[in-house]
Amino acid sequence: MHFRTRAIHVGNEHCPQTGAVVPPLYLASTFVQPGAGEWGEFDYSRSGNPTRKAFETTLASLEGGCGALAFASGMAATHCVTAMLRAGDHIVAGSDIYGGTYRLFHKVANRAGITVSLVDTTNPANLEQAITPATKLVWIETPGNPRLSITDIAASAEIAHRHGALLGVDSTFASPALTRPLELGADIVMHSATKYLGGHSDLLGGALVVRDQKLRDELYFVQNATGGVMGPWECFLASRGMKTLELRVREQSKTAHRLAEWLAAHPQVNRVLYPGLQAHPGHAVACRQMDGGFGAMLTFELRGDFQQTKKFVQSTKLFGLAVSLGAVESLIEQPASMSHASYDAADRAKHGISDGLIRLSVGLEAIEDLQDDLVEAFAKVTE
Ligand code: P1T
């Protein structure tokens, strides 16, 4: 079956008892057992829940994995991966990653004796150089947040595996509608389901998808032991969101691409970071590993100072000033003071997250209205 058919039908079978076309929402926290010490498929909702299973089944199918695990947030999903590691283990991570992931790696995982090196993984040679005998995990984000850098997934998998490390890919920005990292050799795909999977700014969730059953079982053990699972209501909403994932992401990507081209020619714009533009250094790799669009996130730098950047992001009306992304509503933010405020200032500067960057999450609105909104903001900064 094609992607969009699986998004609607896999995991969403009609209810055999009532014939309900949409599977029921199971809010139960616990399930009666056949006998003391005897277990049915479900016993307690931390360990498993039918609505969570439905979401996991659909997502595993969309990513081409053997199984998926749903978490309370994207950060809970990534935390589960780091909680599999032991003191002395080393992570090599891309330098263009979400601020919360940076914080988890540097300020939480480090307490358990895990060390992290951030490198620019857009050049595979940097990854190769940063790996040590203690490296157990390579963690990349592509497209990266917030600079939309592109890392070659297949090349990263080859390097990680040659050194006995796992490759984890935070594929939140691409979503399975555009990129399927497991098909390119990754071991773990991570999503903030809060974003494109849900797609409507009304749920918080995360997910891991793997292609190896043993790894799935290890991650499940940690998930069940630590308990950061996605709630049934959120799973229900995420399943509903995924039914339109392909349509939303393709349409939003088209709008983002056109806005990127328009912004690139704008006299008040210094540079535009969008992998669909030929001038983007990762364009060729993006063409290879993204299919159906280059995503609906775009970042640009205003010709102006910090105050003008701040004024710009505070001047739009349709683009809401907020962190998060991936929904039908367009959003705008300043990474340095918002999504990436948890970076140490020195690391922000080192990794190119300048005060002048503006990040757009392009939604499903008409492009003409979004453009008008930005035109007004450009006018405001020169007032
Ligand atoms: O917010 P949460 O569901 O825990 O997901 C964290 C996360 C992980 N990975 C990426 C690439 C992300 O963008 C995020 C969340 N990002 C934002 C809230 C933001 O504004 O960038």
What does the pLDDT read at residue 383? Answer: 84
Asked if 235 and 70 touch (Cβ cutoff 8 Å), the reply is: yes
pTM: 0.98
Asked if 298 and 168 touch (Cβ cutoff 8 Å), the reply is: no
- Which residue lies with its CA nearest to atom 13 of ligand 1? 98
3-state secondary structure of 153: helix
Q: Is the CB of 157 under 6 A from ligand 1?
A: no
- Which residue lies with its CA nearest to atom 6 of ligand 1? 74
3-state secondary structure of 106: helix
Residues 23 and 76 in one domain: yes
One-letter amino acid at 22 equals V
Residues 346 and 202 in one domain: no
Domain boundary among 207, 225, 242: 242
Q: Is the CB of 61 under 6 A from ligand 1?
A: no
- Which residue lies with its CA nearest to atom 19 of ligand 1? 324
Token output for 217: 């079982």
- Domain with residue 107: its CATH number is 3.40.640.10
Which runs of E-coded beta strand occur in 203-284? 206-210, 269-273
Domain boundary among 242, 259, 291: 242
What does the pLDDT read at residue 62? Answer: 98
What does the pLDDT read at residue 361? Answer: 98
Positions annotated as catalytic residues are: 46, 98, 170, 195
Residues 303 and 228 in one domain: no
206 alpha carbon – ligand 1 mean position (Å): 9
33 alpha carbon – ligand 1 mean position (Å): 38
Report residue 118: phi and psi, to 5°.
-95, 125
- Domain with residue 307: its CATH number is 3.90.1150.10
**Boundaries of domain holding 270:** 245-381
Q: Is the CB of 172 under 6 A from ligand 1?
A: yes
Residues 216 and 346 in one domain: no
Q: Is the CB of 98 under 6 A from ligand 1?
A: yes
Residues 236 and 289 in one domain: no
Domain boundary among 201, 223, 242: 242
Q: Is the CB of 204 under 6 A from ligand 1?
A: yes
Token output for 120: 């620019």
**What is the secondary structure of 64-94 as a DSSP string?**
T-SEEEEESSHHHHHHHHHHTS-TT-EEEEE
Q: Is the CB of 105 under 6 A from ligand 1?
A: no
What does the pLDDT read at residue 298? Answer: 98
How many structural domains are present in the chain? 2
| 188 secondary structure, DSSP code | E
- Which residue lies with its CA nearest to atom 5 of ligand 1? 74
The preferred substitution site among 151, 194, 197, 358 for testing ligand 1, maximizing ligand atoms within 8 Å of CB, is 194
**How does pLDDT run along the chain (383 residues), one tens digit per residue?**
999 999 999 999 999 999 999 999 999 999 999 999 999 999 999 999 999 999 999 999 999 999 999 999 999 999 999 999 999 999 999 999 999 999 999 999 999 999 999 999 999 999 999 999 999 999 999 999 999 999 999 999 999 999 999 999 999 999 999 999 999 999 999 999 999 999 999 999 999 999 999 999 999 999 999 999 999 999 999 999 999 999 999 999 999 999 999 999 999 999 999 999 999 999 999 999 999 999 999 999 999 888 899 999 999 999 999 999 999 999 999 999 999 988 888 988 888 888 889 999 999 999 999 999 999 999 999 88
Q: Which has the closest alpha carbon to 174: 162, 166, 182?
A: 182
Residues 201 and 270 in one domain: no
CA 186 distance to own-chain centroid: 15
Residues 124 and 11 in one domain: yes
